[in-house]
Structure formats: C-alpha cells, structure tokens
Amino acid sequence: MRISTLQAQLSRYAHLAEAHPLLIGYSGGVDSTVLLHALLESRAPGRSRGLRAIHVHHGLQPEADAWAAHCRRTCDALGVPLRIVRVDVRSDTGTGPEAAARAARHAAFEAELEPGEVLALAHHRDDQAETFLLRALRGAGADGLGAMAPWRRHGRGWLWRPLLGVARAELLAEARARGLEWIEDPANAESRHDRNFLRHQVLPLLQQRWPHAHAAFAESARLSAEACALLGEEDALALAMARTADPQALSVARLLQLPEPRRARVLRLWVGAAGLPPLPARGVRQIEAQLLHAGVDRIPAFAWHGAELRRWRGQLHADWQRPALPADLDLAWKAPYAPLPLPGGGRLAFDPPIHGHADAPADEAPAGASLGSTLRVRARRGGERIRLPGRRHSHSLKHVLQALGVPPWVRERMPLLVNDDGSVLAAGCVAVSASLDAWLRVRRLRLAWSPDPDPDTD
C-alpha cells in the first residue's frame, strides 16, 4: 500500500469535512505518523483551511518528555503547528488505567477543539476489531458493538477516523517503506492490559484459524452501527412520547406501553441526553423490576456513579445526587444581597444582580414591599407557613410545595429565605411570598435558586 492509496479513505467524509480545518491527534506512534503525512500529502478535506496537531502528554512513562520532544521536532520539520497538552490521569475512577488515560486524552481533545473544527484520529481496522471484542466480552448490546464511529459530533466540532478501513500491518509497512520515524510505547507490549491481551494473545490465535478475523470483527461493528442508527430513530420517537413537561421526568404509564427491550433503549437514551453516566445493565433491570412497577405510595430509587433515578407521582426523575441542606443551616444575607453560595455548591441570587442600594424610591414601593437589611437563609425544619400573592391567609409550606409538584428530595435541599421577623419569604425560587413578590416587582427582579455549582467558580 502506498500512502497515496489512502485518498479514498481520507475523502470518505469529504462532503462533511471540506469546509472545516483539521486538528490531528498526534501521539508520535506509527499510526498517527502515517496519518499526519497522509493528510499533508493528500488533498484531504480541511487541508486548505489549515492543519494543526495536538499531542497529549500523559506523564505515565519515563519517556513521556522525550516523546513530546519527538513530536515537536517532527511537526516543526513538516511546518505543522503543534500544541502539547499535559493531563493528569486520575487513578481513582474505578475504570482502570486504560479507560482513565483515554478519558483524560479525549477531555484534552475536546477542550482544544475549536468550533466547527474536525479532530482526526488514527484508529484503524485492528483497533476497531479489538474494541468490538472488548465490548462483546462486557456484554454490550448493539449500541456498544457498533464500536468506533468513523464520523460523529465531538465537543464543539467533529471527530473523524479516516483509517478505520486500513489494517495495522498496512500502516506499518507504509511507514517502513517511506522511512518514517515514530516512537514505540513499551506499555503497548504489556499483556496485562485488556486490549493488549486481545492484541497479542487472542487475536493472533484466532487468525491462525480465521485469517480474516480482524476484518470480520470490524465488519460486524459496522453492521451493528447501521442497525443502531435504524433503532435510534424509533427510540427517539418513543422517548418523545414518554416525555413530560419536566425535561428530567418521564411518564411511567407511557413507558409501560412500550415493549420491554424498547423501554431499556429509551431509558438509556434519556439518561444520556440528560448528561448523566451511562446506565449499567443491572440498573436497567432494577428500574424495570423495582421502579416501573412500584406501588403509588413508594418512592424507590436507583443510584449509580453519582447519579440517581427515582419514581414519584407516576413519573421517573433523573438527576445527579445532591445532599440535603444541613439541618442547622442559618446564613445571613445582607443588602445589597450579592449572590449567596450554599452548602453543596448551589446558590441564591437576585436576577439581575443588585448594585448599590437594594431599596426602590419610597413613592414607587407599594405597602409591604420592603425587606430588612439582613435576611436569613435556613433549611426547612417543618411547620413553616407562607402567605402567597393574592391570598389573605397563610398556608402550610409543606402543602404548598406538594401542590406545586416539588419532589420530596428537592424539598430537602431547598433553602428558605426568612425575614427578620421570622416570616418565610420564599422556598427556593418556587414558592414566593406576597411581600417578596411585591418587592421583586417594584425592582423588576426575580429570585433565582440553583442547586448546581456556580459555573463561574471552581
């Protein structure tokens, strides 16, 4: 194979990539080295709009600095701008070193990718076969067996794998024929890693009996991906029918109208769209057995990887796990009421923020539309009452929140805003008292409560 014969692979997604610049993930290994030269020497999509490279420095091997220096020399000689990004590979994720390094690498890719840019990676046919087998051994369904997609969305841009149809041996032969220089990661020879065990022990044995094993597994992955694309269209329709007015809730009754295999796919699609970790197989089984068929008086839950799915009032609710507010919480919130951080990462704020004095001119303020200079923020303790706008009498806060459909676990972390006389002004931003409502209207403000960490802070 000559490098010019890669043109068909490089142009496969030309109709999608031709208007975008390219960012190549360059490890310095033989695969990415061949791809780098192929992109430079071909009329590849995006070449006219710029080609740059990124090298992720994992720091896992003593030679890591030397590898980065090699990549720098190579890119400088070729006139390709290179960005070297150091990452910290976490060892406490519970997913293993391979998965942790891959997650850190892809996070670096996503952070570097410019809007509309195409990230080109050098995964080849043998990588695809190994991925297919690894996922099959983990009991993956059709979605997992689809393995690596040749083209998909990634962060602010796209991810492109133009060499998925090319064998590793062909890339190695091409590199040697052209006298290219590359680096060898000694970790690739260690069979203690799952992928390397398949590469060095299992697949060679299979190829003794079935020489086309790599190609067959890669083709099975392609066919699985095609099947998933067809299933995905029906999944999206079923999910739309099961949705409720709350984007984080699904109707149990509508889910139960679906066949069980379709329900499982819809649940996975919904959880993924919510930005939560993928549901494990045991989770789907537990949701089916314990949540979907639970009695109306129960609030069963399933938790996984920091996320949680609950059933309440005929709906499934999915969100990240968040602790209840401390029972002894008592914070002072002083005028002009700058955004107030809460335990667990949430905050209370007025929107837009108040600058300067918090009070409106006296002639603009209706009766009762005033607050003390210091408010208190507390956790719910039970027995609180609140007088809502347009009501003459106060009502039980518990009954008000129930009537508003606030789930019990949300009530546990909902802060109370209390005036200096002890009267409840608001519960989160869901229930607002008549006096606070008048105060907000005069100033054209709204009270905002977020249970999530402030995106502007670490």
Phi/psi region, residue 167 (left: phi>0; alpha: psi -120 to 50; beta: rest), is beta
CA distance 188 to 60: 13
The answer to whether 29 is annotated as binding is yes
What contacts 48, CB < 8 A, 6 or more positions away? none
The answer to whether 420 is annotated as binding is no
CA distance 293 to 454: 37
CA distance 110 to 98: 18
Whether a cis peptide bond, with omega within 30° of 0, leads into 115 is no
| Residue at token pair 């949540």 | 291
Return the HEC string of the chain. Answer: CCHHHHHHHHCCCHHHHCCCCEEEECCCCHHHHHHHHHHHHCCCCCHHHCEEEEEEECCCCCCHHHHHHHHHHHHHHHCCCEEEEECCCCCCCCCCHHHHHHHHHHHHHHHHCCCCCEEECCCCHHHHHHHHHHHHHCCCCHHHHCCCCCEEEECCEEEECCCCCCCHHHHHHHHHHCCCCCCCCHHHHCCCCHHHHHHHHHHHHHHHHCCCHHHHHHHHHHHHHHHHHHHHHHHHHHHHHHECCCCCEEEHHHHHCCCHHHHHHHHHHHHHHCCCCCCCHHHHHHHHHHHCCCCCCCCCEEEECCEEEEEECCEEEEEECCCCCCCCCEEEEECCCCCEECCCCCEEEEECCCCCCCCCCHHHCCCCCCCCCEEEEECCCCCCEECCCCCCCCEEHHHHHHHCCCCHHHHHCCCEEECCCCCEEEECCCEECHHHHHHHHHHCCEEEEECCCCCCCC
The answer to whether 141 is annotated as binding is no
CA distance 17 to 9: 13
The answer to whether 297 is annotated as binding is no
The answer to whether 31 is annotated as binding is yes
Nearest to 160 by CA among 130, 195, 107, 117: 117
The answer to whether 450 is annotated as binding is no
Binding residues, as ranges, are 27-32
Binding residues for ATP, as ranges, are 27-32
